[in-house]
Structure formats: structure tokens, C-alpha cells
Structure 1
């Protein structure tokens, strides 16, 4: 533990680090991929703490967070008592993020598999036509109405609860084990004192704090000082800004970001920028976990309908049955689970659409339909997380600019021609 910075540096020839206490305290390493419980973990709090260390996004050599489902996998080697804990954790994720946000339940063990690109698909006229329609990149333009933004922010900022800053001083005894690696504080019951810090220190520049918080979002958001000052001058909550400027700034910026995001999305306009996604970006092979793959079978005698001989899904409840239904449909000529490098820029981060589909048209007119579909657990976008709803709205405008049919669906039954 004394040389942990050296151990974690990329210049040190270390291929494996073992620590019996790294998941408890004093070790801030995001690149935890395997956890082996060598003793019975008694409390649920400790289990959450351990798993929480492992599910953080890992960092590469450049210090950038990696958002890759093939890399972001935590393996826990544990006893059977973990089963109920994991089941409860899965249920909490489902309540928070919906069915489509739940990862597949962890199996007792995992086997890796490889899905291969069907290169003959790249030569099919239907694929070429589909790719020519969806490959084009766009840029967006937005207009900010400062007056409306201020009017939207002030009611919520007026109602925000911002408490005075306080610290709690506790007296404790320290216990150090002679024969074990332990050093802990034993807090004496009742030996706590609360101290009010309001008015004890010089006030910082509130507008500078708000600017810094805005710029350190992902992606960064910026407003003029004039607008931020107008928000401060207009709120009835100004007295608490003097008592606790940092908490006031945090509350104000959170409200501003939310209202600004809504305004950016509601008036967004996309146009083609002359660039496109290259077909050569499709990998010949993708290695993944066998439990996350639905095999694309050769039902119609034409070599299957998906671009790869297996389809990697992200959720058991929505994507897996959607794939299974597509595989059964004779009117689906081909489909693609769009790769993670197929990104649509939005003011609140990149949007990654789900599916591109070519199918026979049940109506008169064009003999073939070229579709982009997003699979969710509900058609009511207001029930999704706010940023998820906003990104879908941006994606709809992006594909509208390309002239591509785009919709949100909950199952393959909602595609043209009905059932499966």
C-alpha cells in the first residue's frame, strides 16, 4: 500500500495486483475486473462497496474512461450467498433504468464466443442501399432563448432547499492490531459536536463557481455571465447563496443544465455535413460472452438475415426477444445491430441508435422499407430517464434530416406488417 502509485503506473512491469483490503478503503483504482471473496462477506453494505469498486468505468493509458461492453465486465468469484444479493441488485437496476437497462443475469460461469461478419452481406444491393441512406453524418444547430431559460429556472431555484454549511466533530479512539493489518477508528457514542460554518469565511465568486460547474459537465455547457447573474438576481433564494455559496451554485447549475438541455433538444436542427461512416469500420470478428449472443440462423436458405452470424444483445427483457422475433420473420430481408461507433452527436452527449432493418413493404409503393428502430420498454418517452428521452428526440431529428424512417418500438410486432 505504501507504493501504490508506483504499482498502478503504466511504466511498472506489473501484470497482476493482489490485495486483501483494496476494496475496503485507501485504494482508488478504477481498473478492477475480478473480485474473489476469500471470506464470508457479512453485510450488504460491504458487498455493495466491493461491487461498486468493480463496476466503475476503467481508464486507459491516456486517462480516458472506456465505454466498451467487451471491456466493462466485472467477474465476482463468490459463494452461493451472493445469489440473493445479486437478484436484489438486478431488481434495483430495473426499477431505476427500466427493463432495457438491466444487464443479463450473471451465470455461474461464462464462456467466450466469437461472432463473424458475413462479408457477402456488404455486397447485397439491399445492404448497400440501406448503408447509403443511414451512413451520412450530420451537424446540429441550436438557438438558446435566454429570457425563457431564466423564466424556467427561477421557480425551481426559488423552491430549492439549501441548508447552511455544517461540520460534525467526532471524538474517537484508534485501534491498531499487533498481529493483523488493521487500523480503525472507534467513534465514541454521543461524542459529536455540530458546528455552523455560515458567515465564518470569506465568500467566493459565486458566478465563477457556476461557470466552472457548467464547463465541467459532460459535454460542457456554457452560458454568459450576464445570464447567470440574471438568474442570481432574479431568485428569491439569494440569502442562502451568502450562507452556502457552493451548495447554492450546485443547485442552480443542476436546474440550469436540466432546463437548458430541454431547450437545446426542443429546437435542434440537423443538416448533413459531407462526412459519413465507412463500411470498413465493421470488424471481421467480435469476441464477446456466449450468454449475450443470439445466433443468426439460416432460416430462409440465404445465409441468415443479420450482418453477423450472431447478434450481441444488451438486455434480456427487450433486445433478446426482439432479435429472436426478427430471426423468425420472413419479411425481414436483413438487419443490423448498429455498432457502438455509429454515433449521432447531440448537445447532451452522443446517441447510439439500436437497429437498421430492411424488410418487405406490406403496403403499395416502394417494394422495400429501410428503417431505423430504437427498442425501449415503453413508447411513452416521458417514462424514460430525461437524458435518454432527449437523445431519442435528437436521433429522430437526425434521421429525419436524412429522410430515414425512424421510430421507437417495444417489440417486433410493432414493425410494418404486424405479427411475427
Structure 2
């Protein structure tokens, strides 16, 4: 599987456009030497005016310094997971295409980020994307600077620097990029970049830093918060490399002190900030996953626990007592000593035995080194409860993701304290208690999942679970720092897959067709900046950190939006990352929200424009809003914000500051989904409508002549369906030297991978993906081949996938009005509301009818006793009192499953039984709610679902069931819809 990149995403394109705008109308001077970049006058008034123009979109408090000294500094702020690497890669292509720049130096803070950047830029799918999709006909030649091992004999000039510098600007389709990590750019004695005693130089330069400086490079800094201006690497860049431009891309920036009068004030170090995609923007615009934090509550509710720190040669054990808000105390206990020495909660419990890495207690429990447990003496370990919770959340998400038309491989990440609780230590032979516990709990959970599968769940998911159970060891893998020096082949494969084979980890099946069940990853916080995976849906911290790290950095490993089994990024839905911590971090959600909102610009005085803008959004009069704010004492008569009530003001009126929308960061401990009661008397009123909606229907397409299908397929085949599979090589050149052989890297080449499918297998794959007759597919290919020669190599997996995807698009665009529904004889019950015998259930899971809940009981006419909802529009509907409504209810998520034209299923949101004017209750209404202003905002796939639903309800009418189907947009109240239906 290749990841499929999308170009021209608005939130990324804005950053690239902002940088391009800075050079609009600026005179670019051609370089005088072949190894130089073009140059421009950094003090040009046009540059300054262009920056001012771009910064009109930036709040004044965030624009930063606008000074231009020896080089031009530009800043781009983008939240973690929104595609910074993609943006600065496309920026390189743009600056080369528009202005001829071809020497760039990318500086990153760590080896992990360096490896990730190298893999991204050199990946065949990335190269193909920028060449074929984005139409850049140049190529990045990436030179990676590595630390040099000291050897006696000749001193060789660093080859990556040599190749970077000597790259000629006369080769117009080549862009030379030098990639380095921060520690190699420091002016230390003997450092390879500042030495000048090399036997050979490049372009007359013997000091590498001088050669780099001579190219007049553009420097790109990734993660600028790691590069403060007084830090050695930044000083080296300024003093030794002397670029003509530095562009910094990051989610966070360093602090700096400025003088305000006589006092010093700490501010963010922004210099010409051109674009600010804040954390709020990223969450609110669904550019990243939301976060749902949850922690395991101890049985006794005591906020304390103990940890087995170390076992001392079977003679004694060191145990920490961890109590929230108090200093951690370590006790050393020997065999037969009571645990009550630690805390009276352990009264009567003694240590009865001490092993290599465990202790035995008089209550029959065994506790291992590194294990944490609460003072509830008969409870299982704290980690065991957290693993159970993590598996619960994982399988909830996995089941939903697997039952999609295009599946999403669901991954989970565990951070642990003790490596040898997971990875076997050959020296000590310690038991891998955490790994053993995890495998035992995973087996139990898989058995539970298998026993709870219903007819709605796919047979394939059942087989996936069975494959997982058959080889539990294959379902998980770990990566720890010392693995880099481990010679074990199995461990090396695990590490390689986690760090470098992202596509394989995201695949549900292996190349041989067997299931790839690896989806649980373990690490000791080694996977940090520079590593992420879009399909991480659960992160569990099986460690007590009390970390003061950026909360956004902690969850950043799993914030990126997921991709499906074909590598497509899913951006039209809301996803959540389950983040499971222990009780010491119970305030994580609040701290994360506080951190996100702290990035917002300081609002001290409201303007008339601010009030008008927010009033329009709230659909009230600006004067009324002003009086409302004044009455609540959030502002004074001069519109100045009351500092004492500022937090309260921001929480209630987020629109003034663009704060984080409610529900994007959730604390699951405070808002635990509760079983919701089904009011049986209300169900009786809805019973007939519910059973009508739950009759099973198949979708039938109008019979299309095979000749017509052939013609359409021929047209699709003309749209670049048959493609080469291109991969890039990495070329190492072995050269002789006085001290033996040395290996130098050189530019790789592209070559075509020929992996054809047998022709009938190709036809079979397209048939399975489209349900088209094999004969029609064959005839279309024969007809196409008469005008276009098709080599055997083009009958490959990529071409089959291209044809299937093209047909899906064609079907959506051309089969509207050419399909119908037919009722089946399949049983109606059980349903989410009813048992197998058709009787109503007592309760329904809150998650099936709404992720959010309002305290208190719902009105009498509502099907459920609680107000659970997903959007503000839904909440408004549930709380609306409409006299004509007899009874109504939220339709449980994914319960009706109307087949749709795009191959998926569709389930509306609400069902109503309404009284007619004559008092009879014959009007059944089904409503789809869309929390958008107008129909133009609806995405194509949503439109297709609604159009399919209209056809479905027309068929119900033909079958003798009168059900009105309506679409409700944000601007329309439910009362208006009901009134219009009753008057029609």
C-alpha cells in the first residue's frame, strides 16, 4: 500500500502562498557562479510591503519582530499533524519553479525527525505526487549529512556537502537539498564543518561551512522551539552559514525577552510570522483528531499507589509510595516484613517470598519489578486495569473502522517504564510480566469480541480476529533505544516496521494475502518528535511521568487524520484519539485545553467589528450582544474586557477569540457514556415506523446494456489507468583510499518495478471491486487496446486499483436516477432498540445516540430519558417543544443502513410521529440533520447519501408506507419543517 498525498489542501496552500507573496514583484538577480542561489535585495521596500500585506491576516500581537538584518526570516506556524513536512517540501519546489532557488539546507533537531524527513522526501510515492499530481518537473537531490567517524590517514571533505555545493544551477531540473540535524551544526573544536585541513576541497573551499555559505542558501528550520536564537546551532547558522533567508516551520516557537519600559517581558519569538494555523484552528477545522482523555479510577477512590522499583538479589525490595500532592517515599523491605510499613491500607499483608524480579504477598498475589498497583490489596495491578481499558477503547474503534466500505487499520500505542517487562533480558532471565499480562488480556478480549459479533459485522472481521488469536505474538511489537544495537533478527524486523515501514504497518493484509494483525506498539517514550502514525487511535501511558512536557507534543504521535486501506486520507469525518493516563494526570484534558487556548491572541478591548462579526454568527443584533456582555460584566462601557472575568468570558463566547470548540478535547472520566433508558410507552407509539425503517432493502441498478458499459469503461481506461510502478534506488559507491575501502553516497535513480498480474487475475480483481461482468471488462480492454498498445507489465495491482476507483467516481456521477430499492424477506429484529422477539430493550448505550449529554431528563415525548446528542442542532431539536409531535427519537447510529449509490450505507438522524390537523397521527417523518448553513457546504459523498435516501423513501411509499423524508440545515428550525409538512 502507498500513502496517497492530496495537493492543494487549503490549510497547507495558504502557508505556501504566503511565502510566495513575499517575493511578488521583487527583483531576483541571477547567480554569477554555477554553485550559487539567485539573490534578492532583502532591504527592498517591496519585500517589507508584501510582508505587511500578508500579515493583515495575523493578529497584531502575533506578528512578531519585522526587522530585517543580514538575512530575511519568515515564520510559518502549523500545528502538529497538519503536514509541515509536506508544506516545506512543496515550498522548496515553488521557490525553485518561480524564482530559481536550488540550494536549500533543512535543519532538524533530532535523528528521528531526520530519518522521517529523509524517508518522506525520498519516498517514491512522494516523488510521484509532486511530479505527476502537482506538475513540478524538477527533482530534489537530497544529500544527508551524517556524523563522521574519525579515521587515521587522509581527511576527506564531507561528501554530502561536496555534492550539495557542486550541484550546478545550470541543470535546471535539479534542486539540491542538504539535510542535517542540529548537533552537526555547532562550532566545536575539530567539528567536521569548521575544519580546513581536508586534503581536497570543493570549488576552492577547504572549510565546509565556507562552501555552504558561498551557495547563498535558503535554510529551513523544522521544530523552531528547539532552536532558540542564543542556542549554538542557531548561532552557527547565522555566523558560519550566513543564509540569505531562514524559513522556520513549527507548531511551537521559542521564547525571548523584550523590554517594555523598564521591565522585561517574555514573548514568543516570532519574526515575520506569515501564517498561523493554531492548535484551535487544527482541532476546530477537523484537520487533526480530537482527544478523549480517560484515566482508570481506583476502587477505593484513594489517589495513591505503590510501585516495585527494584528487587535486590532476592534479599530485599525497594518500594515507592506515591501519593498525589505529597513527596514520593521509598521503603526497603525484606521477606516477612509487613507492607503496612508503607501505608496502613496494607494492614495484614506481608512479603512471603522474593524472586529474581518479583515478590510474593501473603494475600496470594505476585507483583513484578516495575509494576504499579493501588492500595486496594485484592485488586489486580494498576497497569492491568489500564490495559483492559485500552483494549476496550481499541476494539470499539477497530470494529467500527473495519466495517467501513474502505477499511481503516486501527493501531494502539503503549508507553512503558521498564523495557524488560516487555522485552526479554537474556542476562537476567527476568519474566516479561507486562508482555505476558497484555497477551493474556488480549486473548480474553478477542474471545469476548468473537462471541459478541452480530450478523451486521463482516465475516472478514471475524477472520481477522481469529488470525489474531491464532498468533498473539504477531499482533504486537516494540521499539526501544537499545534495539538499535540488538542483533536479534525478529527485533530488527519489529523496529524496521515501526520506524520505516509505515505503509506496511497500515496494511490489513500482507503481500501473500494473509492478515497483517500487528497493531499494538510498545515503547519507552522513544517514539517522540519525528515519529507519528495516522492510524494511532489509542495511546496509553503505562508509566507515571507527571510530565511537564507540552501536552500537545505528548498526544502528537496520534493526532494525524487516518488513512484507509488504499492510502487515502479521511478528512470528511470527526475522529478522536483515546488518550489513557493514570490518576496523577487526571487533569490532562483541562491542561491541554488551557495550553491550546493560551496560544490565542490577547483580547483586551473589543472593537465594533468584533461585536458585529460574532453577533452575525450568533444570529442576534450587535446592540443586543453588547448589552448582554455589559450586563454580565464581561466588558465595560468602553468595550474593555474585565480581566477578572476574562476566562469566564472566553469560555462562554469562544467566537471572540477563536478558542477551542467544546467537545474537541474530552475528559471521559467526567462525561462517561451512560446506559440510556428507552421509554417503552413511547416506543409503542414509534413501533410501526421503526419496523418500517428496519425492513431490509437491496439496491438495484437499472439494467444497463453491456455495450454501454463497455463504452464507458473504454473512456475510463483513457484516463491514465495503466501506469508504471516507479521506485527509487539508493546508490552507494565504494571507493579505494589509503586506509582501505570507503563507501560514499550518490544520487539514486528511478526505475520501473515490473510486477504484472496474470490477465485473468487482473480481470477478477476489477470484477470483485466493481461487480461488473468479466466479459464486459475484457471487451472494453480489447477495444481500448486497438488504439492504445498495452504492455503486459501494465496489468498490475496499481492499474486494477486505478480502474476500480475511476469506476466508483463514474458510478456516483452517472447513476443518479438509474437505481431503485427492493424489499427482502430478511428478519427485522433484533435491532439496537429491540430484542430478537421484537420487544423493546430496557436501555441503549449512550454512544449509539450521542457523544455529548445534557444533565437532566428529556421531555415526555422523547423516546429516551436523557438528552444525548452529537451537534448543537441535534440538541436544539431534542429540547424543542412542538405541540403537533406525538413522539420522536434519535435514530441510533448506523442502525438502519440504507444502501447508497456510492457503495456505503446511510442512516438518518431523527424519526417523528406527528398529529395531522384533524387530530389523527398518521404522519411519519424521518429527518437528516446537517449542522451547516446551506446546501453548498455539503460534501459530495453526503449529497449522494441524501439523494439515495430520497429514492429509498419513494420506494417505501410505493410499498405502501408513507414516510416523509426531510433534510434539516442549521438555518432551519424543526418547528418550521413540521409546519410546512402539515400545511402541504
TM-score range, shorter chain: 0.5 to 0.7
Query: Is the contact between residue 382 and residue 389 of structure 1 (CA under 8 Å) also seen in structure 2?
Result: no
**Residue in structure 1 matched with residue 173 of structure 2 by the alignment:** none
**Aligned 1:142-157 pairs, distance under 5 A:** 142-145=701-704, 146-157=706-717
What is the SS of the residue equivalent to 2:519? coil
What is the match of residue 293 of structure 1?
Answer: 853
1:369-399 alpha-carbon deviations (Å, 9 max, x no partner): 2101111246987864444333333332332
Q: Distance in 2 between matches of 1:238 and 1:10?
A: 56
In structure 1, the gaps of 5 or more residues are 58-68, 88-101, 174-186
Name which one, 1 or 2, has greater alpha-carbon Rg: 2
Distance 1:272 1:56 in 2: 34
Q: Which residue of 2 aligns with 1:372?
A: 926
Give SS of 1:416's match: helix
| 1:297–1:342 CA distance, 2 compared to 1 (3 A) | same
Whether the 8 Å CA contact 1:164–1:196 is kept in 2: the answer is no
Instruction: Return the TM-score normalized by structure 2.
Output: 0.31
Superposition pairs for residues 186-201 of structure 1, below 5 Å?
A: 191-197=746-752, 201=754
Paired position in structure 2 for 1:168:
728
Q: Do the aligned residues in 2 keep the contact of 1:163 with 1:240 (CA within 8 Å)?
A: no
Deviation at 1:308, TM superposition (A): 1.2
Shift of 1:132: 4.8
Aligned to 2:777: 228
Return 19-28 or 133-142, whichever deviates more: 19-28
Shift of 1:195: 3.3
Match of 2:578 in 1: 74
Alignment match of 2:889 (pick from 336, 340, 343) = 336
Question: Distance between the aligned counterparts of 1:120 and 1:161, measured in 2?
Answer: 55
Alignment of 1:12-411 (within 5 A): 12-13=440-441, 28-29=518-519, 33-36=538-541, 40=549, 50-52=558-560, 74-75=578-579, 80=592, 83=596, 104-107=663-666, 110-122=670-682, 124=684, 126-145=685-704, 146-160=706-720, 163-171=723-731, 191-197=746-752, 201=754, 203-215=756-768, 217=769, 221-235=770-784, 238-239=788-789, 242=792, 244-246=794-796, 247-260=798-811, 266-274=817-825, 275-278=827-830, 280-281=834-835, 282=841, 284-288=843-847, 292-294=852-854, 297=857, 299=859, 304-314=860-870, 316=871, 320-331=872-883, 332-339=885-892, 340-346=894-900, 348-361=903-916, 367-377=921-931, 384-402=938-956, 403=961, 404-410=963-969, 411=972
| CA–CA distance in structure 2, aligned partners of residues 337 and 351 of structure 1 | 15
Deviation at 1:333, TM superposition (A): 2.9
Contact 1:241 1:248 in 2 (8 A): no
Contact in 1 for aligned 2:890/2:911 (Cα 8 Å): yes
Call closer, same or farther: CA 1:389–1:11 in 2, change over 3 Å: same
What do the CA deviations read for 1:247-301 (whole angstroms, capped 9, x no partner)?
Answer: 33322221123324556663222233344245524451425599612457455xx
Q: 1:256 to 1:132 in 2, by over 3 A?
A: closer
Q: Is the 8 A contact 1:240 1:248 kept in 2?
A: no
Deviation for aligned residue 1:337 = 1.2
Separation (CA, whole Å) in 1 of partners of 2:677 and 2:791: 58
Question: 1:18–1:147: structure 2 CA closer, same or farther, 3 Å change rule?
Answer: closer
Any idea what SS the aligned residue of 2:702 has?
A: coil
Verify the 8 A CA contact 2:873 2:929 in the aligned structure 1.
no
1:417 aligns with 2:979: yes
- Conservation of the 8 A alpha-carbon contact between 1:165 and 1:243: no
**Unaligned stretches of 5+ residues in structure 2:** 1-421, 425-431, 446-475, 481-494, 506-517, 521-535, 565-572, 582-587, 601-660, 734-742, 836-840
**C-alpha spacing 1:307/1:344, structure 2 compared with 1 (3 Å):** same
On the 8 A contact 2:924/2:964 being kept in 1, the answer is yes
The 3-state SS of whatever aligns with 1:415 is helix
Q: Structure 2: how far apart are the matches of 1:280 and 1:376? A: 27
Q: Deviation per CA, 1:328-384, whole angstroms, max 9, x where unpaired?
A: 2223332111123332244613322211112344x6685552101111246987864
Task: String of CA shifts for 1:51-91, please: whole Å, max 9, x gaps.
Answer: 359x689xxxxxxxxxxx9x97622666749738x99xxxx
Q: Is contact 1:149–1:260 with CA below 8 Å preserved after alignment?
A: no
Instruction: Give the SS at the match of 1:166.
Output: strand
**Could you report, residue by residue, the CA deviation over 1:140-195 in whole angstroms, capped at 9, with x for unpaired residues?**
3333413333333443432337653332122589xxxxxxxxxxxxx98x733113
Aligned to 2:22: none
| In structure 2, distance between residues paired with 1:381 and 1:368 | 29
* Residues 114-148 of structure 1, C-alpha deviations (whole Å, 9 max, x = no match): 24224343464x32343354343333333341333
RMSD (CA atoms): 4.9
CA–CA distance in structure 1, aligned partners of residues 437 and 756 of structure 2: 39
Cα distance in 2, alignment partners of residues 399 and 137 from structure 1? 13
- Look up the SS of the partner of 2:772 in the other structure: coil
CA contact (8 A) 1:343 1:350 kept: yes
